Copies of this chain bind each other. A is one copy, B any other.
Amino acid sequence: MVKVGIYGATGYMGAEALRILLQHPQVEVVWATSRDGEEALNYHKNFYKRGIQFTKPEEVSGKDCDVVFFSTPTGLAAEMGSKFLHEGSRIIDFGADFRLKDQATWEEVYGRKHPNWELAKQAVYGINELHKEAIVNTKVVANPGCFSSSAILALAPLIKENLIDCDKIIVDGMSGTAGAGVDLDFALHHPQMHNNILPYNVVNHRHSYEIEQELMGICNEKVNINFTSYYVPISRGILSACHCFPVEHVTRQSLLELYNEFYKDSYFIKVIDIPENKDCAWNYMPYPWVSSVVSTNFCHIGLSVDEKRNRIVVFSVLDSIGKGGAQVGVQNMNLIMGLDEREGLENYGLYPY
């Protein structure tokens, strides 16, 4: 059994990690911290009377754990990580502390000095579809941002094959409000948000930098990600729409083949290749639905091509705290600990969700 600790299980991401790890057949959750201690169960009612215990953060140690997951405010994983590493644990950070490879960029983007860059240098960026071997061999995983996973997975095949103008990529990321986390905000108060769509971080989004870093790692040329995010009134899940201008002739069919080939060994990526049919009443069917993947570690990808106007649009959907967060963290843990990557992550999405 793999022994894990969850440092910060009060919020949505940490609580999702806890949920998945409790159900994982090869894992023992040694501790999960909440500053509220046992009181936390009053609001985590999905765990009510199921024997879960929350521990205060000051009472835990990495000695008991093979892996410690961090779901903490920016900087804390970098500050605390070395302690847990020295105590013998690997660490997987759901936050942004270890995601960027350039210190100056990190410090500009996050507006502060990095607390421990030596630690950051050891980290592997946790998109396992691109970095599986490195993840297997690391002790520090930088779990990707939710929008980042979504955009990287949607764009990687196009970038790899040099099919698009890398300077002019537009990504619209529509997210459920769980992406905002558990902290209250006027705009996310239910009566405000129930009938609204909320653009935010509309230019220069922090996730742009990780997306660019990872895609540049594939093609070795400059990539510009013009990313804009929105909250839409669902709770979980992201749809990213990635618009690209092809530099050679492509068709929907040729791209579907490319994507199927690119992801043929990636169990958790499913390419939706239902035919487009203008005469069909169900013109919603050929594209991925975010409702199909919420609560899971799956990412569905679909696409279309406007041959008249020369545009590709790729859609990817995932759960921001599933494949876009806690569950991909567990997939990375499986890899590090020598388990089958699917272990504990086979659940189907809900229908209807």
Question: Does A338 have its Cβ within 8 Å of any Cβ on chain B?
Answer: no
Give A51 Cβ to nearest chain B Cβ, in Å: 11
Q: A235 near B190 (CB under 8 angstroms)?
A: yes
Question: Does A195 have its Cβ within 8 Å of any Cβ on chain B?
Answer: yes
Q: B190 near A177 (CB under 8 angstroms)?
A: yes
Complex Cα spacing A352 to B182, Å? 9
Q: B-contacting residues of A (Cβ < 8 Å)?
A: 12, 15-16, 19, 22-23, 42-50, 168, 170, 172, 174, 176-178, 180, 182, 184-204, 208, 224-226, 228, 230-237, 239, 241, 243, 245, 270-272, 274, 281-285, 287-296, 300, 302, 304-306, 308-311, 313, 315, 317, 346-353
Residues of B within 8 A of A308 (CB): 204
Q: B204 near A228 (CB under 8 angstroms)?
A: no
From B230, B284, B300, B302, A174 is in contact (CB under 8 Å) with: B230
Give A252 Cβ to nearest chain B Cβ, in Å: 9
Cross-chain pairs A/B with CB under 8 angstroms, 20 sampled: A23-B347, A43-B186, A43-B285, A45-B272, A45-B291, A48-B272, A186-B282, A188-B190, A190-B231, A190-B233, A191-B352, A195-B294, A195-B352, A195-B353, A196-B353, A198-B287, A202-B315, A226-B313, A232-B233, A295-B350
Residues of B within 8 A of A236 (CB): 191, 195, 350, 352-353
